[in-house]
Structures are given as structure tokens and as C-alpha cells.
Amino acid sequence: MKNLMLKDIIIAKKSFWIGMIINAIFFMSWGYYGKLSIFINTICIIIFIFMYVEGSNLYDDLHKSYMIIASLPIKRSDIVKTKYIQVPIYLVIGEAEMIIIYFIMKYLEIYKYSPLCINFKIILINIIGILIYYAVYYPIYFKVGSRYTKNITSIIFMIVVLLPTIILKILKKHPNIDIAKSLMSFTNYKGILIILLCVISAFIVSFKISQSIYIKRDLQ
């Protein structure tokens, strides 16, 4: 299983610097809009994880590496487990990437970011969102492969990229709206942690479902 994870990480590492550049551009483009800064971390982490996970999955489908792996003495349940373990790993790497970019920009004094960019509450919300998405995504992926899921992912990716522009237009029409203040007052740590525990449970259930699907799947 370690070798499977290493294989995916080696494939995905090609996206690391691309992700750094794209996310740095997002920080520079939108970070100075105070009311948008709350979304920067979320948008960047989604971009980062999409690039890593989808890049690895598409590579497997393109080169049919899943058929080669299936012919090796490796349990299919371990293949599924590897994919699920990678999600929290990429989350940690992605958040670390955001913090690195934040402090590089701050050190270079390009401009000052809102502390909300790396707010712990926002990080927890990011984790919840990503876990929910992949709890739904992976059972479908293990059923039909990324050739069929990539279109859905591409649409979601485009929505995420366009989200700052959409939010900015809304704020221009309603300048008195303080999204950051509203979100921070609406959410509290206790509620977020309860939701997080529920989502983790759903993620585990999704893992079991994916294992069952992939064990029975005909890879021909």
C-alpha cells in the first residue's frame, strides 16, 4: 500500500509547483479585496487538491495502470484505502502550501492579507467541504472510472475559479454586506466540530461502499 501511495505522490508532485503558481496568482488577484479574503484559502485548497487527486486518477485511467496494479498481489481493498488516505494527506499539504504562500507574500510586503486567509475556522470548513465531495466522488469513481467523473469535476473546478468574480459582483450590488462577519457569527467551533465528526463518519462509510464496489468491479 505504501508503494501505491508513493506512486500517486510521484505523479502528483508534478502539479505542486503549478499549484503554487496558480494559488499565488489567486492570492495576488483577490487577496486585497477584504471581503473576498475569507474565500481565498478555500478556493486555493480546492484547486490544489483537484490538481493532485484528478491528475493521479486521470493518469491511472489514461495508462490503464489500474489493470496492471490489479494483476499484482495487491488487495483491491488496499487500492481503495490508498485513494482515501491521500485526501487528508493532500489537505495537509495544501494548507501548508497556503501558509507558505501567505508568509512569502507577507515577507515580501506585496500587500497585507486579512488574517481570515489562514483562519483555523476556515481550515475546518475546508476539510468538511473536501471530505463531503470525495465521500460522494469516490464511490462513483470506483464504479465507472475518472473518464466519466472528470466532466463533473471540470464543471465544479470552473465554478470554483469563477467564484471570486461572482461574489465580487454581488458585493458591488450590495456593498453593505459583510460576508466574513456574517459567516464568522453564523458558525461556531462546537457546531463545526460536530459537523466534522459527522462528515468523517460519512467519509468512512463511503470508503466501505467504494471497497465493496471495486472488489466486485470488472476491470476489463
pLDDT digits (tens, 9 = 90+) for 130-185: 899 899 889 988 888 776 777 777 777 777 667 666 766 766 676 666 555 555 55
CA 63 to chain centre: 24
Q: Report the number of secondary-structure helices (H) and strands (E) in the chain.
A: 9, 0
Name the nearest CA neighbour of 54 among 174, 169, 145.
Answer: 145
Q: Using the structure block, give the residue that is written with the C-alpha cell 489493470.
A: 67
Q: Using the structure block, give the residue that is written with the C-alpha cell 468523517.
A: 200
Dihedral sign, Cα of residue 36, residue 42, residue 46, residue 49:
positive
Q: Using the structure block, give the residue that is written with the C-alpha cell 464496489.
A: 213
pLDDT digits (tens, 9 = 90+) for 1-11: 666 666 666 66
pLDDT digits (tens, 9 = 90+) for 62-120: 666 666 666 666 787 888 888 899 888 888 888 787 777 777 777 776 655 554 456 77
The packing angle between helices 189-216 and 120-144, to 10°, is 20
* Residues 6+ positions from 61 with CB-CB distance below 8 Å: 145, 146, 147
Q: How far apart are CA 116 and CA 180, in angstroms?
A: 8
What is the count of structural domains for the chain?
1
Containing structural domain, residue 9: 2-216
pLDDT band for 126, please (50, 70, 90 cuts): confident
Element (H, E) at 161: helix 146-173
Q: How far apart are CA 94 and CA 44, in angstroms?
A: 8
